[in-house]
């Protein structure tokens, strides 16, 4: 057993090295690569992914995994070795059922699709992107078929990002959540609206960047193991626990865009940096799931970054950066402004009370695409109609509507629901953390965040992908994913802001 485990680790290390090299090419495409390199980058990525695929499903690796799975009952089921075998088996299964030629074609397709999306988004012209997206959607349908039988065609896509989660489970959670959020929004709509006009004026881009860097440094982001760059859509990528990179984007006419985008991605980055170093070069050196990852980013962005104690410490400093814009804006006014609830067009800039509705809209569209009930060519019309139905706003163009998210160009169909699930998990973790550290918010007011990050590291980060998401949430909070704490959080916070 020991000899076979060592061989598994040796082979897996090579596989994960190739995997991370391919990820590095994708990071470079979104951050540094000139637009003209898209076609060749697609070929490079496809070649690496084909090599990765072939190595993962090789007879040697397959046989070794089969033998270790068969004898895994000799190990403590909660041991790192037992969990490693399980994670390697999942990594293997995701590839063994998919032909290598399909994998190579897929990565070539999404590399080109991303480049086209960037151009289409800039031009606000969905028809430029439509042929690429049609191919992406068709290939995702083919991908799902490799994992048949399934309860729903969307299940294999969801499971890829959220291990063990079923479409029916997500629908049930959202069905419970949606009417409560709609009721809260109606109550807020009946109250006088807060003023956030001071956020929609010119703010120097470099100063926005510098302030964000200052904040996330206090959060604990390690610049010896991380960096921040600009990208069309903020994201985080980790190639090692010692190489975790975040990006942001800066809007000179809207302060919250870079500010909260930076805090959000820092939450992801801290997760990557906090994983047990012993998991390096294995599938365990990853988050438990995208929803658990999102729980981290939403905590650092919203539960902390939009809280009054946080700004009791940081607002005087922000005023020093922007005296002309904020010198005459007091803290209560600023706090209400950054927490204003108002249906908006852009998901990543949506307030906490409306954000989940953006996700539900996208989930329904993705399911319809996979079922064949919706054609890609009809997406702009359907998007605009549902935005009006869900949020009471209609995008004036494709850039602010159907083209706003990067995910479909990257093939990430199945991803969106993890954002809303992450919101729910964040509130559950928050309740547990406050019970463990009663003076936590007092620490924020003093500019102290080490207890927050250390708690997250010891309860969530260090385990990497050792536990399945529901298993990890249960382990830390005592219950599986539950909408109740999140609704309680929203009702309490916005009840105070809007005097409900």
pLDDT in tens, 265-307: 999 999 999 999 999 999 999 999 999 999 999 999 999 999 9
Long-range contacts of 4-11 (CB under 8 A, 24+ apart): 4/64, 4/67, 4/68, 5/68, 5/81, 5/84, 5/85, 7/64, 8/64, 8/65, 8/68, 8/84, 8/85, 8/88, 9/84, 9/281, 9/282, 11/55, 11/60, 11/61, 11/64
What is the per-residue pLDDT across 438-474, written as a single tens digit (0 to 9) for each? 999 999 999 999 999 999 999 999 999 999 999 999 9
What local confidence, expressed as pLDDT, does residue 227 receive?
Answer: 98
- Token couple for 259: 């500010």
In this prediction the pTM is: 0.93
Q: Which residues belong to CATH 1.10.1370.30 in the chain?
A: 167-497
- Token couple for 312: 């009791």
Tell me which residue of 54, 67, 86 sits closest to 4, measured CA to CA: 67
Helix ranges (H only) for 162-280 are 167-189, 205-219, 255-274
For residue 441, what are the contacts with CB-CB under 8 A and spacing of at least 6? Answer: 307, 309, 434
What local confidence, expressed as pLDDT, does residue 272 receive?
Answer: 98
Taking residues 189-211, report their average pLDDT.
97
- Token couple for 452: 């927050």
Q: In 233-321, at which residue ranges do the beta strands (DSSP E only) sit?
A: 236-240, 243-248
The CA distance from 244 to 239, in Å, is 6
Q: Is the pLDDT of residue 1 over 90?
A: no
Taking residues 247-268, report their average pLDDT.
96
- Active-site amino acid positions: 265
- Token couple for 331: 């803290």
Coil, helix or strand at residue 239: strand
The CA distance from 245 to 229, in Å, is 8
- Token couple for 144: 């799902």
Q: Is the pLDDT of residue 345 over 90?
A: yes
Q: What fold characterizes domain 167-497?
A: 1.10.1370
218 touches 200 (CB < 8 A):
no
What is the per-residue pLDDT across 162-192, written as a single tens digit (0 to 9) for each? 999 999 999 999 999 999 999 999 999 999 9
* % the chain with pLDDT above 90: 97
The CA distance from 230 to 208, in Å, is 13
């Amino acid at each position: 057993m020991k000899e076979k485990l060592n061989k598994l680790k040796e082979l897996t290390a090579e596989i994960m090295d190739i995997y991370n090299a391919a990820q590095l090419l994708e990071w470079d495409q979104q951050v540094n690569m000139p637009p003209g390199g898209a076609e060749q980058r697609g070929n490079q990525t496809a070649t690496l992914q084909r090599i990765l695929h072939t190595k993962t499903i090789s007879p040697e690796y397959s046989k070794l995994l089969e033998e270790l799975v068969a004898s895994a009952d000799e190990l403590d089921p909660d041991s790192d070795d037992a969990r490693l075998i399980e994670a390697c088996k999942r990594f293997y299964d995701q590839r063994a059922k998919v032909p290598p030629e399909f994998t190579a074609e897929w990565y070539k397709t999404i590399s080109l699709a991303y480049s086209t999306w960037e151009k289409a988004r800039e031009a606000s012209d969905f028809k430029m992107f439509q042929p690429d997206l049609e191919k992406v959607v068709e290939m995702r349908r083919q991908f799902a078929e490799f994992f048949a039988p399934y309860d729903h065609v969307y299940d294999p896509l969801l499971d890829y990002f959220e291990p063990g989660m079923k479409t029916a489970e997500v629908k049930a959670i959202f069905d419970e959540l949606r009417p409560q959020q709609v009721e809260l929004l109606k109550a807020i709509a009946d109250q006088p609206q807060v003023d956030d006009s001071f956020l929609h004026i010119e703010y120097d881009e470099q100063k926005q960047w510098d302030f964000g860097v200052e904040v996330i440094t206090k959060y604990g982001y390690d610049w010896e193991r991380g960096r921040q760059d600009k990208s069309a859509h903020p994201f985080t990528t980790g190639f090692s626990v010692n190489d975790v990179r975040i990006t942001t984007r800066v809007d000179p006419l809207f302060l919250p865009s870079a500010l909260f985008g930076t805090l959000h991605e820092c939450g992801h980055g801290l997760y990557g940096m906090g994983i047990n170093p012993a998991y390096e070069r294995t599938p365990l050196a990853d988050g438990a799931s995208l929803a658990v990852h999102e729980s981290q980013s939403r905590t650092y962005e919203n539960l902390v970054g939009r809280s009054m104690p946080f700004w009791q410490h940081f607002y005087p400093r922000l005023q020093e950066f922007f005296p002309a814009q904020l010198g005459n804006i007091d803290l209560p006014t600023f706090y209400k402004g950054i927490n204003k609830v108002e249906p908006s067009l852009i998901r990543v800039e949506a307030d906490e009370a409306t954000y989940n509705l953006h996700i539900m809209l996208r989930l329904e569209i993705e399911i319809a695409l996979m079922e064949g009930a919706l054609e890609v060519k009809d997406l702009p019309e359907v998007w605009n109609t549902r935005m009006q139905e869900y949020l009471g706003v209609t995008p004036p163009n494709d850039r602010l509507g159907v083209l706003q998210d990067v995910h479909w160009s990257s093939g990430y169909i199945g991803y969106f629901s993890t954002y809303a699930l992450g919101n729910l998990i964040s509130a559950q973790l928050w309740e547990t953390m406050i019970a463990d550290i009663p003076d936590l918010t007092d620490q924020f007011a003093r500019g102290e965040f080490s207890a927050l990050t250390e708690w997250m590291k010891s309860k969530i980060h260090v385990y990497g992908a050792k536990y399945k998401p529901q298993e990890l949430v249960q382990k830390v909070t005592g219950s599986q994913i539950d909408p109740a704490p999140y609704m309680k959080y929203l009702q309490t916070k916005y009840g105070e802001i809007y005097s409900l």
